[in-house]
Structure formats: C-alpha cells, structure tokens
Amino acid sequence: MGIFRDIGTPGLIVIILGALLIFGPKRLPELGEAVGKMFKEFKKSMSDITTDGDEKNSEKKESDKSE
C-alpha cells in the first residue's frame, strides 16, 4: 500500500471528488462494490497461486528426498 502513502489526504480527497463528478452519486456505490469484488478475486487468485506453488515445492522436496 505504498502508493496510498504517497498520495496523502488532499490527493485522496481530489480523487474522490473527481470520481464523484465523473460517475455521479448514484453509480459511485456500484463502482465501489465492483472494485471491491475485483480486489477480493485478485487476492484469492494470488493466494491460490502461492498455495499451488508451495504444494509443488513440497512435492519436489519429497521426491528429491526419496531419490
């Protein structure tokens, strides 16, 4: 989350106001929900990839030990 530290509060306020002007108050909650779902799926996918990689590494280590 380093990028959010660099933006700061004033920058975040400008971004929110810009989004409000572009998308309007009615679509903004829908947009926020869609972005939240996107991040949730991304985190799940990254977790699955990491888990799969860990399983493959442990299988490789086990096969190396048996040889």
How do residues 29-48 score in pLDDT, each as one tens digit?
898 899 999 999 999 998 88
Place of tokens 């306020």: 13
* pLDDT at res. 39: 92
* Residue 5 CA neighbour count, 13 Å, CB half: 2
Could you say which residues of the chain have pLDDT below 50?
Answer: none
Residue ranges of domains in the chain: 25-50
